[in-house]
């Protein structure tokens, strides 16, 4: 029996090894759980929109709730000009949410607890939003780095700080999600290890604790998906509505 | 000093980041609560902002964890 709390994050190969040049494209347990999350989203949306009842069934209610939740979030943070980007934000939100939630099931694998997964998501968001900003405003998009009403003496310093903060967005966005998921799951495993090592006599206290922690982790799983999506909306707002 | 021992001390020191995160989360929830007591009708509208602030403050503490992991496993 393994009591190492880091053991759960191990990525291993399922099926044959596929190598293209120097890139290893084998099907791993990480890919399997990404596939499971995606299929779960598709199944939920399909079943939820199959029979459009006036009095919604439970699954239709969940689907409608997730739609209105994301639509309201976009409208509140990025304004009505961000409406065309609804599918993008909705996909990101649902993917991160389902990956986090599938990871909460016992013996499953949390895809988002690996920095490379979240970093890939964040970098694509960052590059995409930068391209959107340049398409929408042209070269004037660089005005984003020059805040209004700053004294001329401070301006060179402020511009450098703004550029650094802009470039660090993908890092902070990805590390926030990855660190939250990894820390939470490590903590759950550590408390689970306490239950085993204290045995039948003293193990009840950490058991209760770990039940409470699972509740907290489900909250964090939702919250981090929400924060990931809302920060994407905020960055989109910067790109769409320059200085407003 | 042994490198291994120095790594352990460094990783432990990285946990100091939690002090700042704790203060930040406390300030966010405390201020939200006191503002909600003063004007309960506006509280519901600011709840998303509360969650956003909580997640942002918590994340800074977790950056400390990442530093600790880098010290322990990357060097």
Domain positions in chain B = 3-74
- Each residue's pLDDT tens digit, A36-58: 999 999 999 999 888 888 888 88
| CATH number for the segment(s) B3-74 | 1.20.20.10
B51: closest chain A residue by CA? A223
Tens of pLDDT, residue by residue over A114-133, are 999 999 999 999 999 999 99
Prediction pTM value: 0.86
Nearest C-alpha in B relative to A234: B52
Q: Which residue of B has its CA nearest to A171?
A: B63
Q: For residues A169 and A235, is the Cβ–Cβ distance under 8 A?
A: yes
Measured between alpha carbons, how far is A229 from A92 in angstroms, rounded to an integer?
7
The residue among A26 and B28 whose pLDDT is bigger is B28
Each residue's pLDDT tens digit, B4-36: 898 899 989 988 888 989 999 999 999 999 999
Contact B55 A172 (CB under 8 A): no
Mutation site, A183, A224, A234, A235, interface B, largest B CB count within 10 A: A183
Q: Complex ipTM above 0.85?
A: no
Q: Quick check: B66 contacting A, CB < 8 Å?
A: yes
pLDDT band at A193 (very low <50, low <70, confident <90, very high): confident
Q: How confident is the model at residue A218 (pLDDT cuts 50, 70, 90)?
A: very high
Q: For A57-109, what is each residue's pLDDT tens digit?
A: 888 999 999 999 999 999 988 888 889 999 999 999 999 999 999 999 988 89
Distance CA A57, CA B63 (A): 42
Instruction: Report the candidate in A90, A101, A115, A85 with the shortest Cα–Cα distance to residue A239.
Output: A85
All residues at 6 or more sequence positions from B10 whose CB lies less than 8 Å from its CB, including other chains: B68, B71
Residue numbers in B near A230 (CB within 8 A)? 48, 52
Determine the Cα–Cα distance for residues A135 and A7; give it in Å rounded to an integer.
Answer: 45
Nearest CB to A227; choose among B52, B62, B66: B52
Q: Which residue, among A185, A227, A235, A237, would best test binding to B if mutated, counting the most B CBs under 10 Å from its CB?
A: A227
Q: Do the chains contact at B66 and A175, CB–CB below 8 Å?
A: yes
User: Which residues on A lie below 8 Å from B52 (Cβ)?
Assistant: 226-227, 230
- Which of B55, B65, B66 is facing A227, going by the closest CB pair? B55
**B22: enclosing H helix or E strand:** helix B17-38
């Amino acid at each position: 029996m393994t009591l190492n709390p880091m053991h759960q994050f191990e990525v291993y190969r399922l099926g044959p090894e596929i190598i293209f040049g120097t890139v290893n494209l084998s099907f791993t347990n990480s890919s399997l759980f990404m596939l499971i999350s995606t299929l779960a989203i598709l199944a939920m949306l399909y079943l939820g929109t199959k029979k459009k009842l006036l009095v919604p069934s439970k699954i239709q209610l969940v689907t409608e709730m997730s739609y209105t939740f994301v639509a309201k979030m976009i409208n509140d943070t990025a304004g009505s000009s961000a409406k065309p980007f609804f599918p993008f934000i909705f996909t990101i939100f649902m993917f991160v949410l389902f990956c986090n939630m599938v990871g909460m099931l016992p013996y499953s694998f949390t895809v988002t607890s690996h920095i490379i997964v979240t970093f890939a998501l964040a970098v694509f968001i960052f590059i995409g939003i930068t391209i959107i900003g340049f398409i929408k405003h042209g070269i004037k998009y660089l005005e984003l780095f020059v805040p209004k009403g700053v004294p001329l003496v401070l301006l060179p310093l402020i511009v450098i700080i703004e550029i650094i903060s802009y470039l660090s967005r993908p890092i902070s966005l990805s590390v926030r999600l990855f660190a939250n998921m990894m820390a939470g799951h490590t903590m759950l495993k550590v408390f689970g290890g306490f239950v085993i090592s204290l045995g039948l006599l003293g193990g009840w206290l950490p058991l209760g604790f770990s039940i409470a922690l699972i509740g907290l982790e489900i909250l964090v799983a939702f919250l981090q998906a929400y924060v990931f999506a809302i920060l994407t909306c905020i960055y989109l707002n910067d790109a769409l509505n320059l200085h407003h | 000093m042994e490198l291994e021992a120095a790594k352990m001390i460094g990783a432990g020191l990285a946990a100091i980041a939690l002090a700042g995160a704790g203060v930040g989360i406390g300030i966010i929830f405390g201020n939200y609560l006191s503002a909600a007591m003063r004007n309960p009708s506006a509280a519901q509208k600011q709840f998303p902002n509360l969650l956003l602030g909580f997640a942002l403050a918590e994340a800074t503490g977790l950056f400390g964890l990442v530093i600790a992991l880098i010290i322990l496993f990357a060097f």
